[in-house]
């Protein structure tokens, strides 16, 4: 409920400033496998490190919020859609770097759905739905990529544009 309130306030602010607001829906790929193989405490440390990495990319004025077991959301004012995709690509690249936990090196990737206010939705609920749907498409496309909320796929493949791979 707290994030939904923050999202509504961010949309109101973007509307007043006539700015674009990007919602990034970030999912750590296959973290359940890490939890199963190494234990929940180990997986939680990977999640904490991933959150730090995401926060470093987003900068001091944008904090990722953990929504679920392996999901984060982040809001960021951007100049345009290209800026949002650059941020998503940077998050993917940073999350792809090896994680060192308890002297073990593991690799985890991220998939991201992107939605922009006002381009893709006019309200909080619509923006969340669009970003979540885009995340699902990134997962279908093979993970470790982002899928822009406004993209259309030719031929009904469900694959993101080639530039979406981080």
pLDDT at 81: 92
**Helices 81-96 and 40-58 sit at what angle, rounded to 10 degrees?**
140
pTM over 0.75: yes
* Residue 158 predicted with pLDDT over 70: no
Active-site annotation holder among 41, 70, 80, 144: 70
Hey, what CATH topology would domain 2-164 get?
A: Alpha-Beta Plaits (3.30.70)
The tens digit of pLDDT for each residue in 7-51 reads: 999 999 999 999 999 999 999 999 999 999 999 999 999 999 999
Give the number of other CB atoms < 10 A from CB of residue 163. Answer: 11
* Residue 115 predicted with pLDDT over 80: yes
In the chain, what are the domain boundaries?
2-164
In the chain, pLDDT over 70 holds for what percent of residues?
89
> Catalytic site residue 70?
yes
Distances (CA, A) of 40 to 27, 28, 44, 144, 157: 17, 15, 6, 22, 35
């Amino acid at each position: 409920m707290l994030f939904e309130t923050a999202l509504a306030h961010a949309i109101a602010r973007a509307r007043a400033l006539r700015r674009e607001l990007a919602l990034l829906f970030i999912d750590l790929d296959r973290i359940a496998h890490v939890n199963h193989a190494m234990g929940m405490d180990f997986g939680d440390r990977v999640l904490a490190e991933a959150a730090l990495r995401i926060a470093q990319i987003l900068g001091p004025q944008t904090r990722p919020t953990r929504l679920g077991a392996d999901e984060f959301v982040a809001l960021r004012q951007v100049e345009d859609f290209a800026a949002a995709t650059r941020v998503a690509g940077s998050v993917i690249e940073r999350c792809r770097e090896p994680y060192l936990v308890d002297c073990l090196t593991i690799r985890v990737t991220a998939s991201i759905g992107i939605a922009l206010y006002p381009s893709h939705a006019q309200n909080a609920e619509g923006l969340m739905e669009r970003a979540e749907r885009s995340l699902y498409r990134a997962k279908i496309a093979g993970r470790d990529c982002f899928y822009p909320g406004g993209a259309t796929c030719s031929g009904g493949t469900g694959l993101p544009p080639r530039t979406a791979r981080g």
